[in-house]
Amino acid sequence: MTAGVKTIIYPVKDIERAKALFTALLQTEPYADEPYYVGFKDAGQDVGLDPSGPAKGLTGPVPYWHVEDIRARLAALLAAGAEVQQDVQDVGNGRLIAAVRDAEGNVIGLLQDPPA
């Protein structure tokens, strides 16, 4: 079971330009504003800007499904025919992310928050 898609990360080449665009769209300032990541929260949705995304081969937004056990879900997706795009990685404070590509080339993100 998942908690649904609550996070969308956009790969960006120009983070300052993208930050200005999403600030105008969401009409809010980012909650995280670092050279390596800019994050916004709006209406229960987390929207991130990742300047390293293009270097990872990402060409479009990645939806992140929030899961309870990222390693088990990743293994299930691989067994179902997906290929690893990004293995499990801690992105800070115990938050884990991973991503796979399906047979059509779509990227599916997984996200596990640390226990509360």
pLDDT digits over 25-56, tens only? 999 999 999 999 999 999 999 999 999 999 98
Among 3.10.180.10, 3.90.1640.10, 3.40.190.10, 3.40.50.300, what is the CATH number of 2-112?
Answer: 3.10.180.10
Question: What is the mean predicted confidence (pLDDT) over 49-78?
Answer: 94
pTM for the model = 0.89
Give the residue from 84, 92, 99, 108 showing the smallest Cα distance to 39.
92
Give every strand in the sheet of 32-34, ordered side by side. 32-34, 37-42, 45-50, 2-11, 62-67, 107-112, 96-101, 83-90
Q: Where are the alpha helices (DSSP H) in 1-116?
A: 15-26, 70-79
Q: Where are the domains of the chain?
A: 2-112
In 3-state terms, the chain is what percent helix, strand and coil (to 5)?
A: 20, 45, 35
pLDDT digits over 84-112, tens only? 999 999 998 899 999 999 999 999 999 99
pLDDT at 94: 94
The encoded tokens of residue 77 equal 């997706």
